Amino acid sequence: DVKVTQSSRYLVKRTGEKVFLECVQDMDHENMFWYRQDPGLGLRLIYFSYDVKMKEKGDIPEGYSVSREKKERFSLILESASTNQTSMYLCASTGWGSGGEQFFGPGTRLTVL
Amino acid sequence: AQSVSQHNHHVILSEAASLELGCNYSYGGTVNLFWYVQYPGQHLQLLLKYFSGDPLVKGIKGFEAEFIKSKFSFNLRKPSVQWSDTAEYFCAVNLDSNYQLIWGAGTKLIIKP
């Protein structure tokens, strides 16, 4: 069974802290994505990666960075967390030839105080 | 820019009612179409998908969707909903077999027992 795991289900951080969210997939997928999900706004793409060490900005990259040192792992970094980054963060992956079907992790609900 | 529209942000139905959730996209090329569902507290999962062939596709839990190319639509239907269908439903579109998805804003469905 395909699996995408995220390091935490719930996280509470303080303004200004550096935050790491990690995602691991076991499907040997080339492409990985970080989204944030907010009520009424659907899923908004933060960053994606189509290969190890490669990254591309999505629609809302400001305030975030990413790292992909290994194929199976894609990390989202909030350099200095702010209250407007309180959200649900979703990681997804897909392989070439899958027609775009993405597989999702359980999400991390981040609260920044 | 390409976009996906879900017409209803909130839908409330009684059990056994019929359901139709609208999804329209703005792109004239080749598309792959998806409906995802997120049950309360659970991760996003695929409900059904259309790549080619029969425009009426069946998914899990009695859901189906019809692709109407001339209307750029991919509406989700279920003849008789159950309380357990309470969830948020997302329509997503993949363009020209790119690996990215364009997402609708989601529809929150509440089924009254």
φ/ψ of residue A29, rounded to 5: -75, 140
Which of B59, B57, B2 is CA-nearest to residue B31?
A: B2
Is residue B97 scored above 80 in pLDDT?
Answer: no
Give long-range contacts, CB 8 A cutoff, 24+ apart: B47-51. B47/B76, B47/B89, B48/B76, B49/A99, B49/A101, B50/B74, B51/A99
Is residue B96 scored above 80 in pLDDT?
Answer: no
Name beta bridge partners: B111: B13
Is residue B1 scored above 80 in pLDDT?
Answer: no
Could you say which residues of chain A have pLDDT below 50? none
CA distance A44 to B13: 28
Of the candidates A50, A98, A105, the beta carbon closest to that of B43 is on A105
Tokens in use for B68?
């109407």
Please identify which residue in the block is written with the tokens 């997302």: B90
- Residues in B whose CB is inside 8 Å of some CB of A read 9, 32, 34, 36, 42-46, 49, 51, 90, 92, 94, 97-101, 103-106
> Residues A4-27: pLDDT tens digits?
999 999 999 999 999 999 999 999
Whether A90 and chain B come into contact, CB under 8 Å, resolves to yes
Give the pLDDT band (50/70/90) at residue B2: confident
Amino acid A78: pLDDT: 97
Interchain proximity A101–B98, CB inside 8 Å: no
Amino acid A2: pLDDT: 67
Tell me what percent of the residues of chain A surpass a pLDDT of 90: 88
Whether A54 and chain B come into contact, CB under 8 Å, resolves to no
Straight-line distance from the first to the last Cα atom of chain A, in angstroms, rounded to the nearest whole number = 37
> Residues B62-90: pLDDT tens digits?
999 999 999 999 999 999 999 999 999 99
Tokens in use for A82?
């702010």
